[in-house]
């Protein structure tokens, strides 16, 4: 198995890189956070001195960074991946970024004969840890096929949804559904609680019906347990919805529900909750209704 470069060892990138090491791949890694680098080094990875250095040592380079500006800087910037990568290398950006930026980066890399896939994920930290993320991929079929053995280590599903940028369009669709769904769960549980019905019993009663969802199962228990540590941070969801709204407005698609949830997230950020899990959307409704969603004491 050839060496894989991995850049961005955060909440998602660290467990993903550890899973690749466990599966027997050799890795060369880089992050500006030295503590994260040290942890992955202890697990057996080689450490690169820059994105350029990583790219010069690996034919496949995975990036898992916060957003478009970081991906552009790491791939196209000074001492970046493009400077170090050979012709024929494959850059696989697994960050959630604007689809137009994926296309821009891919076009710049293509000038040097470097291939690219955009391959954002969903599932959050728990699925990154157990290697069962959903991976949404844009790019060429042959490049996707080459990555399948690696996607199998990281994900429970991996689907090529179109050309470059299609992975991130799919991820934006995913983020609309998740955001609006968490807001709906929050509205429902706040209403039930203030009406004097135990939210836990409401959850148990409805989860098997049409109102049931992966979001309901993942977030309702955390809301009732008052657990708002991330998970997926409100600030990151704001980033994704900004990418959603910019993309949708650019192509003439009004998104009134998404825009509404975006303003809820902005209000929570102003309240100092930007680093909380997006399940803290419930706190916005709790403030309006002057009630807290929690399990009734036994």
List residues binding ligand NAD (CB under 6 A): 7-13, 30-33, 36, 64-67, 70, 73-74, 95-96, 121-122, 124-125, 231-232, 236, 240
| Position closest to ligand NAD via CB | 10
Using DSSP, state whether 45 is helix, strand or coil.
Answer: coil
165/199 with CB nearer ligand NAD: 165
- Choose among 293, 4, 243, 19: nearest CA to 152: 19
Give me Rg for the CA atoms of the chain: 20
53/240 with CB nearer ligand NAD: 240
Confirm if 131 and 143 have CB atoms less than 8 A apart.
no
- What is the C-alpha to C-alpha distance for residues 20 and 27, in angstroms, rounded to an integer? 8
Find where tokens 């991130």 sit.
168
Q: How far is the CB of 233 from ligand NAD (least distance, A)?
A: 7
Helix axes 199-206, 214-224, angle to 10 degrees: 170
Q: How far is the CB of 231 from ligand NAD (least distance, A)?
A: 6
Task: Based on the residue annotation, tell me whether 171 is a catalytic residue of this protein.
Answer: yes
35/251 with CB nearer ligand NAD: 35
Q: How far is the CB of 124 from ligand NAD (least distance, A)?
A: 4
76/291 with CB nearer ligand NAD: 76
37/114 with CB nearer ligand NAD: 37
Which is the catalytic residue, given 14, 52, 127, 171?
171
- What is the C-alpha to C-alpha distance for residues 264 and 147, in angstroms, rounded to an integer? 38
Task: List 90's β-bridge partners, or say none.
Answer: 60, 115
Q: How far is the CB of 141 from ligand NAD (least distance, A)?
A: 24
What count of Cα atoms within 13 Å lies in the side-chain half-sphere of residue 97? Answer: 28
Q: How far is the CB of 131 from ligand NAD (least distance, A)?
A: 14
- What is the C-alpha to C-alpha distance for residues 212 and 66, in angstroms, rounded to an integer? 30
Find where tokens 């898992």 sit.
64
Looking at the annotation, which residues are catalytic? 171
């Amino acid at each position: 198995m050839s060496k894989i470069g991995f850049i961005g060892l955060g909440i998602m990138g660290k467990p993903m890189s550890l899973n690749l090491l466990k599966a027997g791949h050799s890795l060369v890694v880089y992050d500006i956070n030295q503590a994260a680098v040290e942890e992955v080094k202890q697990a057996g990875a080689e450490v690169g001195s820059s994105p350029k250095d990583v790219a010069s040592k690996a034919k496949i380079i995975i990036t898992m960074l916060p957003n478009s500006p970081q991906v552009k800087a790491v791939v196209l910037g000074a001492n970046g991946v493009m400077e170090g990568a050979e012709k024929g290398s494959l850059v696989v950006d697994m960050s959630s970024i604007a689809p137009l930026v994926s296309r821009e980066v891919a076009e710049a890399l293509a000038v040097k004969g470097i291939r690219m896939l955009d391959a954002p994920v969903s599932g959050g930290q728990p699925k990154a840890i157990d290697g069962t993320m959903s991976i949404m991929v844009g790019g060429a079929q042959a490049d996707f096929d080459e990555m399948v053995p690696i996607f199998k280590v990281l994900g429970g599903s991996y689907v090529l949804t179109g050309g470059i940028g299609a992975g991130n369009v799919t991820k934006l669709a995913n983020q609309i559904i998740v955001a609006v769904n968490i807001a709906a769960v929050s509205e429902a549980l706040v209403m039930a609680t203030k009406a004097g019905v135990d939210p836990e019993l409401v959850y148990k009663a409805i989860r098997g019906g049409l109102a049931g969802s992966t979001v309901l199962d993942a977030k309702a228990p955390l809301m009732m347990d008052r657990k708002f540590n991330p998970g997926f941070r409100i600030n990151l969801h704001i980033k994704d919805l900004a990418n959603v709204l910019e993309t949708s407005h650019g192509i003439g698609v009004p998104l009134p529900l998404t825009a509404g949830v975006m303003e809820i997230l902005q209000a929570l950020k102003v309240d100092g909750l930007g680093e909380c899990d997006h399940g803290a959307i419930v706190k916005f409704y709790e403030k309006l209704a002057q009630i807290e969603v929690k399990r009734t004491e036994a």
